[in-house]
Structure 1
Amino acid sequence: MLKKLLLALSVVGLAAGTAQADDYPSRSIRFIIGFGAGGNADTVARILAEPMTKSLGQPVVVESKPGAGGNVASDFVSKSDPDGYTIQLMVGGHAVSAALYKSQPFDPLEDFTFVSTIGQFPFFVAARAGAYESIEDVIAKAKAAPNTIKIGHSGVGSTQHLSGELLDLETGAEFIHVPYKGGAAAATALLGGEVDLVIDTGTVISPQADAGEFDILAVTSKDRWPSQPDVPTLAETVAPDIDIVSWTGVGMPAGVSGEIADKVRASVHAALAMPDVAERISALGARPSPSSGEDMRGMIARQIEVWKKVVEASGIEKR
């Protein structure tokens, strides 16, 4: 009798879950971002929200919950009902935070359902025009005179900062890492001669490179980047194991049904297939990169391990 009752309850639960997925969505969906309005995360979320609203048939409403490098938003999403009505615009900092914080109020992998990446983008190493012949020249001079060449970045614990620290570890060179309040400030410091190099995104570096003020010496991705095909990678020049590509993506709370996650994923992929959406994502310096949830999770897990090693080896103080 007990076995029959448990079987009946499981059948009822399965039927209820299927019905919920069939009806999904029946109301508006909150699209949570962990940063303030007007930034790149907000822009990406709004680029996707419009076509997703049309394909899902319900409003997808962007909502900002800034703080702690995106952790406030991640905590909120991880503790939300897994009913599909709360989704998150995740960024590469999700993996960095897992390495940088002593503890977090959520598990960066187990407390989320990963839906799909949206876009991927590398970082570029740039110098003032004519300052160095190549990235090989930079590394040779940094090894010959340790702690004399300064790399500007967008803040302690940023992905740009950790990328510079990884360059130290992989090449044996020793740089001075100088934090600024954002990539634009670091680029201005490079123009003014306060630092010798900057590591940042194409959107930060390209305007000065196009104006002839910066030389782009290398890209952090394993393969050359389509927008800068003549720029060599760090992997092919001075650091064979470096492959740094940051990203944006969509996540949901753990426990969301596979059917609902599939519907959201299909909506994200359909949006990224639209030429105007792809063009707007590309204009932000990213390459539209739809993926499976499994691939997104695997990528994040690998990045967490890389950044943990960098934080430990470089002696960065955990928060």
Structure 2
Amino acid sequence: MKRSRSAVLATTSVLALTLAACGGESGDSSGGGGGGFEPRGDVTMIVPFGAGGGSDLAGRATATMIEAANGDVGVNVENREGGSGAVGYSAFLGEAGNAETLLATETALLALPISGEVEFDYTDFTPIMKLADDFTLMIVNADSPYQTCTDVVEAAKTERIVAGISGITGLDNIVFTLTEQETGVEFDRVPFESGGELTAALLGGQIDIASLNPGEIIGQLEAGEVKALCAYSEERYSDYEELADIETAKEQGIDVAFAQFRGVLAPGGIDDAAREFWIETMEAAVETDEYQQYIEDNYLQANTAAGDDFVTYLEGNNELLQQVLEG
């Protein structure tokens, strides 16, 4: 019996639980962290993708909310793009034991190892906090003849449809793969290094379709430069007036929904005091106005999980991605 892809993949969202109270020996957490570790200078936040995309937005917003939560911590954002995230994650792997470097993480953390292109997996790092879930929209140029995702699928049965993707491990490639598996069609892929490059290619007519996070494309949507054909989400964006009328793929007969997580990693090999400091800092960060602004500006679902609960989420999400990318 065929199992609903949205039902299978949506199970990850229920894995996020509230982290139990942290150990009592970590010191006063009112400043955003325990007393056993304090950064000696500015912290580096690595973004493993180029400027302008959802990962870049996440990394810069996370830096801002950390600084808001703990006024003693400064965070510098550093883009390390290349290899669909592999360059940035590999550089971060080399920071083992350095608790003054963080990374803005997403689904590539799991998809890259499954692809067999890298020599690490999520267990080589220290999961700190899952910040949110981020769904995508299928986007076309404003003058495209397609009005729904179903139109695109029907066209793909008889003609070449060029899909831009931000690397083979990106959420866009995952939802396009799920769409292919669900409908039996096949898209031609053209890889780009970031959502910003992907948007430019779409506007320039180099590709037919793209799958972009709302936060990446909202400006072009509101300007009428592009149009959204469907949302790869469980439900419509009813809380966001500007997106509320976009049908889900499932409403159009394509049973696909999958969210990219947004989160924060510390390097592997850090001590318990440093791990505790960053967990407490991020727990304070998600209580800030800056976090709420990030969620609202980027049309996210504020599903958080800290420390061990983030690890549990990653375990479950990794199993599901293996089914998709290896199956």
* TM-score band w.r.t. shorter chain: 0.7 to 0.9
Structure-2 residue corresponding to 1:234: 249
Deviation at 1:98, TM superposition (A): 1.7
Structure-1 residue corresponding to 2:103: 88
Alignment TM-score, normalising by the size of structure 2: 0.71
The one-letter amino acid of 2:149's match is I
Deviation at 1:80, TM superposition (A): 4.3
Structure-1 residue corresponding to 2:315: 301
* 1:152-178 C-alpha deviation (Å, 9 max, x unpaired): 333454332332122111221223333
Alignment TM-score, normalising by the size of structure 1: 0.73
Task: State the Cα RMSD in Å.
Answer: 3.6
Q: 1:176-187 maps to which residues of 2 (within 5 A)?
A: 176-180=188-192, 182-187=194-199
Structure 1 residues 198, 49: CA separation in 2 closer, same or farther (over 3 Å shift)? closer
Unaligned regions of 5+ residues in structure 1, if any?
A: 1-16, 314-319
Structure-2 residue corresponding to 1:168: 180
8 Å CA contact 1:219, 1:231 repeated in 2:
yes
Matched residue pairs, number? 292
Deviation at 1:33, TM superposition (A): 0.4
Match of 2:235 among 206, 212, 223: 223
Secondary structure class of the residue paired with 2:122:
coil
CA distance in 2, matches of 1:204, 1:57: 29
CA distance in 2, matches of 1:195, 1:37: 19
Structure 1 residues 36, 64: CA separation in 2 closer, same or farther (over 3 Å shift)? farther
Identity %: 22
CA distance in 1, matches of 2:152, 2:271: 51
Structure 1 residues 281, 37: CA separation in 2 closer, same or farther (over 3 Å shift)? farther
Match of 2:73 among 56, 59, 62: 59
8 Å CA contact 2:109, 2:122 repeated in 1:
no
Secondary structure class of the residue paired with 1:221:
coil
The one-letter amino acid of 2:189's match is H
Structure 1 residues 45, 185: CA separation in 2 closer, same or farther (over 3 Å shift)? closer
Structure-2 residue corresponding to 1:99: 114
Structure-1 residue corresponding to 2:284: 270
Structure 1 residues 236, 255: CA separation in 2 closer, same or farther (over 3 Å shift)? farther
Greater RCO structure (CA 8 Å; 6+ sep): 2
Structure with max Cα Rg: 1
Secondary structure class of the residue paired with 1:267:
helix
Deviation at 1:257, TM superposition (A): 5.4
